[in-house]
Amino acid sequence: MFRTVRKTPMVLLLVAVALGAWRERQRIAEWRYTVRAIVYPIVGDDSEASRRYVEGLTDDDFAFIETYMNEGSSGV
């Protein structure tokens, strides 16, 4: 009896998490809603050259990403 009482909430929690993950995957795969992505340039190696490069980036340096994504979403 104690085993059943102990395991039931754990199994219910596992089912709830699995169902939530499955529903989220299905929602994203439907492409009914816009999936927003943000690009954060970071200095990965902490070198001065990388820091200067990242600090010199502008919005124009990332404009091609928007163009690429728009072309991909239009079915071209």
Q: pLDDT tens digits, residue range 20-74?
A: 999 988 877 777 767 777 888 889 898 999 999 999 999 899 888 888 888 876 6
pLDDT reported for residue 9:
93
pLDDT reported for residue 65:
86
Which tokens hold the place of 70?
């728009």
Q: Higher model confidence: residue 30 or residue 1?
A: 1
pLDDT reported for residue 12:
96
Q: What is the DSSP string of the chain?
A: -HHHHHHHHHHHHHHHHHHHHHHHHHHHHHT-S----------SS--HHHHHHHHT--GGGGHHHHHHHHHHHTT-
Which tokens hold the place of 15?
């089912």
Say whether pTM exceeds 0.75: no
> Do 43 and 51 contact (CB within 8 A), yes or no?
yes
